[in-house]
Every structure is written in structure tokens, then in C-alpha cells.
Chain A
């Protein structure tokens, strides 16, 4: 056999140019596309994901994205017996790993990672940016709002020009030196000195008129006892994403929290979402407060105003006519008015039955029954209804 042959004939070494071999990268991209699809398909769940909302949008979140698993018929890792190896002094009863640490152990071992079915658990790391990208692709500022946005302008000065004459305090050192070097170089020596008056360059400004893009969210919520943890969480998720979305559209977005029961006050974010107060509910109090804030701080000529009200719909019936009147007043100065009702069991709601009658392009409402509805509410509030206008 080959035993007799000279071993030198038994092998070939080659080094080729592999730069066109892109298969791994192409399939990796396909996988990434599937991750993106999965994010899009899971948006209703992701948007109300507690990890994200409560951590205030930390950069990367681990989310199990099921559709990316490669499903096999396999054993249940946690119900199987496994073989391991000690240092020589292991004893029955010793703990070799704890829940959750399994994956970490494996990753450190390089070669063996993934040998065991239990460790193949796949969690996609999704960055906030990816979720935002996917979500905001589906949201649009209502058409009305965009028009108004263009009308708000400010006059500013911008240093965006360079001239030969100017105030000595505004001298552009870099450009001055460059000019001097260039001129000296033409005479044979590329040096800074000497300076001529002609070398001096000054930064100078122009007046510019820019569309000002500022928005304010007036977050109103019923903080009466009837709003429980679930209702508040829904509202919180909604305001979280809404503010983020508006920030992607406007230069700056403020948010004011107005809590109300029978009377309304401006609250801190923490108080707004955590404190509950007893008593009845008079929604008009919040609307009055909102109008007051607009008058004091958020002039409609400078701000795009987004009053949004979350409630469980239980309002004192006698207050409803007043609500309608105030909502109309608010709409006159706002880009839109949103009413979200958290109503998991489809109770009869006095407020909603009143608001259903409002037919105004700036008025939008949505009933949220479960976590996933935060996403659908966002989509319903932030869509362009140009065809209906």
C-alpha cells in the first residue's frame, strides 16, 4: 500500500484566495433577517415586556425568540441524568452547577459548548435600537401634526461662515495658520511665520430660520383607587414608547405627568405610576390642569402638544358633558388628543360611551384589555389617516 511510498508524496498544502467564499456570511445574514422578522412578529409582546419598560430602556435585552430555535426531538435536559467529572474528591450531594449557570459554564469551555441539548437554548439579544427601529417603522405622526410642525419656527444665529474681516475674538486660528503656511510655501518655505494681515480668517455667523421641533406630552392618568397595578403598568408602557417615538420625530420632547382623582395635580414620574389615592373620579379636573399648563409653559406656537389620558373609564356621569367641552378646547391647541381606556373585562364605561360620540380627526381612542394591546394602541393612535380627512 502507501506505506512504501515516500511520505512526502502523501500530502499537498495549499493556500487559496477565499475572499469570494461568502456563504457563512450570507447565511448569517439570513439568520439575522429572521431575528428581525421575529422581533417584528413579537412586537406586541416586546412592547409590553416588563424588562424594557421598568429598566427604562437599558441597552440590550435578552429575549427568547422562539422562532429561531432549531426544533428537534430531543431529551429534556433537566429531567435527564448527566455524567460529569470531579477533581478526585467529589462526593454524592455536591452541587456541580446551579440553575442558569449551566450556559455560562459551557461557554467558557469553548469546544464542548453546545454538545448538550440543554445548553442549546437560544436567547436573542435584542438591542433597544432594534426594537425601536422595528416599532417606529410602523408608527406615523398623524398628518395634521406634521403640518403644524412646519409652522413653528425660531430665529437663531449659527457660526457657519468664514470671512477675512471680523471681530478679533472670533478669529479662526486653524484657518489663519493654514493660510499663512500656504502663502509662505508659495514663496519657498512652508512655515507659519511671518503672518500678514491678509492671512487672518474670522468665523462669522448668519441668521437662520429653523423649524423648531419641540413637543410636550401631557400624560394624564386616573390615579384613583380603581386603577390597579395592571392598569398603571399598561399606561406606563404606553407613555414609555410614546415618548420614545415622539423623541425620534422631534428635537426635544418634554413630558408632564398629571394625576387626578377628584382633583388634578402635576406629579413626578414615580408618584404618577406608583401612588394610588382613594376617592371618586372627576376627569375634567385633569383636562383643566392640562389647559393651565399649556397656558403657562407650553405655548401652542412653540410646542407640538400631545395630551393623552388613561383611565379605567369610571367617571362621575355628571362630569361627562364638561369633559367633552374641555377635550374640544384641548384639541383646539393640540396636535391630537388620545384617550386610552384600560378595561380588561369589557365593563360598561361612562366615559367611553360619551367619547364614542366625538367625531373629530384629532380625537383618537383605544380600549386596552391586555399587555399586548399597548402595541395595538400605539399603532392605532399613531397612524396617518389622511384618506379620511
Chain B
């Protein structure tokens, strides 16, 4: 198999160059597979994930694009140890070289970026187990029943709390808290439990019920898991597993720009070190241009991330006097890049390293819908940067918290959207509320803003109501 030998030799060489540059990755497992399979994995995010029609829809979409020749090159790499990377069996050797260099940098990022420090590296096996359990539940409770439940959970799966260090109250804490309130026992830690509440308690000591949750809870999935009276054991199990999977995927959502920028930077550097034929050089240039192509109507994370990393390298190789005053030393560009890839996530990456100069050089702008056109509204540096940052807050999802799990003392669920200038898709919201109701079993409310006015949406099992406050 000469093709296989060539590939083997190429991987040898790329691995050696990458290690020489200081990239630090897990042992690699390269799987060569047909398009069907690679797009299946792409759609599911993981080869072993459970079945759901929404993945099938995604698979169909990706496959269609592939068949239409819209996305001929596709890199798929799994954050695990060993690290799995998938190569399309129709890839040319140079396509494989690019992808291999690219995924080695991704793997280095998975292994070293702090956001990933808590992710489970055995997720491949864990997701296999999850898929098996869900299949088992399908046998017991019926496919329809399980699908109905999965539909509901997947609709809110992003609403978890992915903080690396999570100051959580576990059940024991809550009970302690309760005891505290009812017995009014003084302890040295009283002041930790919120002074306002203490005052209220003093006024109406015995009517006050325990507040659930004690402070607004970001982890909607966890809150439902622990407090819903509606769920059966198998449903709690599925909820737990999907939350685990989301926690695993979350760092990838928060570091999209960095991670792709890092990988694009390195595939270029590594390929540059290799002896390519003229044909390969041309093909590589074409492929590379396709990957790191800027877009008028969105941010290409590959391109923007690459530009920021290149800018960091340049500026820290050749620091300004001001930078030197703050301790920078010349020719430390690479070193700085490695530090950045370790400690930042997209938000801090953009805030700290997207300079005014870069925004202007790259011709970044803000646009919004005016009438039936999407029009450029500003090119001002800070506004553009701050908008980029705010788009990356919470992985790009609206920030929702549980305000009250016993609203109106009737066990109703009251959610609050932490509104920051961007309104929700209300049509979608009206369809999500029934899902939350399905999981909670009682009336569900969500407070947000529409046309700059505060509004509460409620769903009572039959109909969605909206009420301006």
C-alpha cells in the first residue's frame, strides 16, 4: 500500500515538526473513513453519541453540502486521550497533511488550555455508555416517549453552568440553611447567607419560606434535575447524561475563535517546514485560502483567530517602548502565544489582544438590519470589539437564570433572561416554554425585554401568554 505508506511518512514528519515547535499533544489515533461516516461524526459531535432525529437532520445537511462540493475539506478531531482524528478516505495527500497539522494543534489546545482542564478525556467511552442506556430506555418506555423527552431536554441543553470552579450549594448546605432560618441560631457564618434575607426574617420570621434557589441559578438543567417533581428516574438519568455531554462540549464553544486560530496558525507554520512538490504547494495555497477566508456577514473564526495570533507574535517579537516599560522583552512572540493559548478563552482573547490597529487593518465593522437591508452601522474600534466580546458571552447563548422555583408559592418556575441590549427570538421562545413546562410540570414564566419593555411570557400547559410589566 504505497498510499498508506506515504501517509504514514507524512504523519511521521508532521508529528516531528510539531513536537519541534513545542506543541504538546496526546497520542493520536487517525481513522480513515468514508464521507458518510465522517459527516455522521460531524453531525453528532462524537462517533458514539446517542441517536436523535436532530443529528440526522444535521447529518443530511452536511452530507448535502459535501455532495454539492461546498465543503470538500473537513477536519474532525475529538478532545480525548488518546485523541481521535478522522480523515476522509478521498482526501488527497496534501489535504491530509493540512488536516493532520491542523488537528495536532487542536489536540495541543485541548490538552493545555485551562478551559479544558476539567473535561473528561474518556468521553468517547462515556458517550457510548450514554447511548446504550438511552437505547435501553427506548426498549422499556418506547421510542416515542424517549424522543419526546429528548426533544425537551435538547431544547434547553445549553443552559448549564460551565464555571470551572463552581461554588455550589449541595443538598446538605441547603438543609443547614433551612435549619438556620427556622431556629434563628446565630453562627459565625451567618453573614454568608445574605443580609437582606436576614432582615426580612426578623420581621416575619415564620411565614417566610425557604427561597428556591437561594440565589439565581444559572444551571437550569441541574435545577430541574434536582427540583422537578415531574421526572421519573430514567428521565433524571438522561438529563444528567446530556448535561455531562454539554459540560464536555462547552469549552469548545467558548474557545472557538482561539482554537481555530491556533490550529490555522500551526498548520501554516508546519506545512511551511515541509518539502512540497509544486503541485502540492499550489493545492495547499488554494485549500488554505478557502479555510481562512474572511466573510462580509459573519466572523470566520479560523481567519480572525489566525490574525490575532499572528499579531501577538509580531508585537511581542518587536515590542513597543510602552510594552517594554510593562516588562515585555523582544523576540518573545512564540512564548507569548503559548501563554495565551493556555490561559485565555475567546472573551479575554478578544478583549486583550484584538487591538485598534488590527480592527482597522482587518476592516472589521458592525452591521445590523435597517429596513430590509443589513447595513454597516459603525467601524469604531471599541464598539466593534465589545460587540465581538458580547457575542461570545455564555458561548453565544442568551443568559437565563432560575429566579424562583416556587413562584406564587405554587411551585411555578420563574426564569429571567439577563437582558443586555439583544432581544430574544420570541417566536422560538414561545415554542421552548412548552418544553420547559414538560420538564417542570407546572406553569413556567420567563421574563425578558421586547421593544425595550419588560415582558413576562408564561405557559400554563395550554397556551402562551405575554404580559408587559
Contacts and interface: CB of A to CB of B under 8 A. Distances in A.
B425 A18 contact: no
Chain A interface extent, by class: 35 or more
B193 interface: no
Given A97-B297, A97-B374, A81 B56 contact: no
B118 interface: no
Contacts of A122: 57
Given A18-B33, A95-B373, A85 B54 contact: no
Contacts of B369: 78-79, 99
B271 to A, nearest CB: 17
A92 B362 contact: no
B425 A2 contact: no
B8 interface: yes
B366 A93 contact: no
Contacts of B12: 7-8
Nearest to A14: B31
A83 B388 contact: yes
Given A71-B428, A73-B429, A99-B372, A11 B27 contact: yes
Contacts of B423: 75-76, 79-80
B24 to A, nearest CB: 8
Contacts of B15: 7-8, 10-11
B383 to A, nearest CB: 9
A13 B366 contact: no
A97 B297 CA distance: 7
A12 B375 contact: no
Contact of B60 (A31, A89, A90): A31
Interface in A1-31: 1-3, 7-16, 18, 21, 23-31
Contact of A27 (B52, B362, B431): B52
Contact of A112 (B29, B295, B431): B295
Interface string A85-123: 111111111111111001001111111111111000010
A154 B68 CA distance: 50
Contacts of A250: none
Given A11-B28, A28-B60, A75-B422, A83 B374 contact: no
A121 to B, nearest CB: 10
B254 interface: no
B295 A85 contact: yes
A34 interface: yes
A70 interface: yes
B16 interface: yes
Interface string B66-78: 0000110000000
Contacts of B367: 81-84, 96-97
A319 interface: no
A32 B158 CA distance: 26
B112 interface: no
A144 interface: no
A370 to B, nearest CB: 21
Given A27-B53, A82-B298, A83-B364, A92 B378 contact: yes
A69 interface: yes
A25 B291 CA distance: 28
19 contacts: A11-B11, A12-B30, A14-B29, A14-B31, A18-B33, A25-B36, A27-B55, A31-B54, A72-B156, A73-B397, A75-B424, A76-B424, A80-B423, A83-B367, A84-B366, A91-B379, A99-B373, A109-B298, A114-B61
9 smallest CB-CB distances across A and B, nearest first, come from A27-B56, A24-B40, A110-B71, A28-B56, A86-B363, A99-B372, A11-B28, A71-B431, A24-B59
